[in-house]
Amino acid sequence: MPVAPFDGALAVVTGAGSGFGRATALALAERGATVIAADVDGAAAERTAALAGALGPAATACRVDVADAAAMEKFAAAVRDGHRVPDIVVNNAGIAVSGPFLDTGLEDWDRVMGVNLWGVIHGCRLFGAQMAERSRALPTRPDRPNKGGHIVNIASAAAYSPSRALPAYCTTKAAVLMLSECLRAELAPERIGVTAVCPGFSETNIVRNARIVGMDEARAERLRALGQRGLRLRRYPPEKVAERIVEAIVKNKPVVAVNAEARLLRGLSRLSPAAMRLLARVPAPRVG
Residue positions annotated with a catalytic role: 169
The length of the chain, given as a count of residues: 288
* C-alpha to C-alpha distance for 82 and 20, rounded to whole angstroms: 25
**Exposure letters 225-257 (e unless 16+ CB within 10 A, then b):** eebbeebeeeebebebbbebbbebbbebbebbb
Q: Which residues contact 38 (CB under 8 A, 6 or more apart)?
A: 12, 13, 14, 15, 16, 45, 61, 62, 63, 64, 66, 75, 93
**CA dist 224 to 94, 108, 207, 250, Å?**
17, 17, 6, 36
8 Å CB contact between 3 and 87: yes
Q: Is 265 exposed, middle or buried (0-12, 13-18, 19+ CB in 10 A)?
A: buried
* C-alpha to C-alpha distance for 191 and 131, rounded to whole angstroms: 9
What is the CA angle 167-40-9, rounded to 5? Answer: 100
8 Å CB contact between 268 and 160: no
